[in-house]
Amino acid sequence: MLLRTLGTAAGGGVPQWNCACPGCTGARAHPGWRRRHDCLAVLGAAPGSWVLVNATPDIADQLQDQDELRPGAGEDRTPIVRIVLTDAELDHTLGLFRLREARHLEITATAPVRRALTERLRLDEVLGPYTTLTWRELPLAGEGTVDLAGIEVDALPLSAKRPRYAAGEPPEAGWSVAVRLRDPATGGTALYAPALAEWSESFENAVTGVDCAFVDGTFWDDEEPRSTGISTRTATGMGHLPVSGPDGTADRLAKTGTRCFYTHLNNTNPLVDPAAPQHALLGAPAPAVAQEGMEVSL
């Protein structure tokens, strides 16, 4: 199983179009700082059978930048695009509309996520005239797995946080999940959790039980949203555990002994600056910051 990061940023990307914070200003001056919306490409045993975790507003560029994700020789169209969703947030689903040119679009999601996309955003109604759309159920932990291009996939519920456009929907398990991946051919396992609202025993066990984990690194500390003026709420109040501080994830992840990477970095997070002193404060064996286009083979 090969994992490749197609994006590692939170909503808006880095730089964000309407922001002049140090992270965005730095990314405009240094293109190497640029980060697209978080997205993971997964390749199993079958050649060319990629699965995408989330479909972001950057999806067309993310696919175009990868030779293996373009149509193969003799093909005028990519035959099928497989996507598994961690939630129904716009940052992770707007790319579905951009993929209307696909011959066949296969979306794997939990029941509440599918309901939000079909009833609130009318995804089926909008995409139906353009492409063949197939839905598959994303089973929660303990309910079995779904086979996606030879990879066994299930979901670990993380929170009942709904997107703003679906705020009136009932809270239930499956709104925000970590996607768990297992390659039966190699035994390699991975966890992808770009949003983490609380540290639970089930999440700790899940991280400890995999070979590699990509985890929510949205904010450096809990006061970052307020200190930078982007919100009146704290990081935890926005549904994201910070990297540092008493409730931070860095020390906790380091204790699991699992190879971990931070993804979903907000433009205000100092870790988007490669030279920021916060990188050294993470220490070893704390999680590293995921880089655009990096690969992990399991």
DSSP string, 72-84: PTT-SS-S-EEEE
pLDDT digits (tens, 9 = 90+) for 22-55: 999 999 999 999 999 999 999 987 777 899 999 9
Domain encompassing residue 267:
2-297
Query: Would you mind telling me the total number of residues written for the chain in this entry?
Result: 298
Alpha-carbon gap, residue 279 to 287, rounded angstroms: 10
Which two tokens mark 150? 């030879």
pTM of the model as a whole: 0.96
Examine the pLDDT at 76 and tell me if it is beyond 70. Answer: no
Q: How far apart are CA 182 and CA 90, in angstroms?
A: 27
Residue with tokens 């770009």: 194
- Which H or E run contains 52? strand 50-53
Instruction: Look up residue 243 and give its two tokens.
Output: 């990297």
The band of 72, judged by pLDDT with boundaries at 50, 70 and 90, is confident
Please give the pLDDT value at position 79.
66
Angle (CA) 86 138 262, round 5°: 25
| Sign of the C-alpha dihedral computed for residues 54, 208, 162 and 234 taken in this order | negative
Residue 77: pLDDT above 80? Answer: no
Cβ pair 180, 154 in contact under 8 A: yes
Averaged confidence pLDDT in the chain:
94
CA distance 61 to 25: 22
Region of 40 (left: φ > 0; alpha: ψ -120 to 50; beta: rest) is beta
**Assigned token pair, 111:** 């029941």
Determine the 3-state secondary structure of 167 from DSSP: coil
- Cα dihedral sign for 246, 252, 255, 260? negative
Tell me the CATH number at 51.
Answer: 3.60.15.10
User: How much is the pLDDT for 44?
Assistant: 80
Backbone angles phi, psi at 244, to 5 degrees: -110, 175
pLDDT tens, residue by residue, 231-259: 999 999 999 999 999 989 999 999 999 99
pLDDT at 49: 85
Residue 169 and residue 250: Cα distance in Å, rounded? 33
The total of structural domains in the chain comes to 1
104-156 per-position pLDDT tens digit: 999 999 999 999 999 999 999 999 999 999 999 999 999 999 999 999 999 99
Residue-level pLDDT at 275: 95
Angstrom distance (rounded) from CA 270 to CA 216: 15
**What's the average model confidence in pLDDT over 261-276?**
97
Give 28's Cβ-side CA count (13 Å radius). 10
Write down the pLDDT at residue 288: 95
CA distances from 278 to 41, 100, 157, 219, 286 (A): 28, 41, 30, 12, 12
pLDDT in tens, 166-186: 999 999 999 999 999 999 999
Q: How many CA atoms lie within 13 A of 178 on its CB side?
A: 29
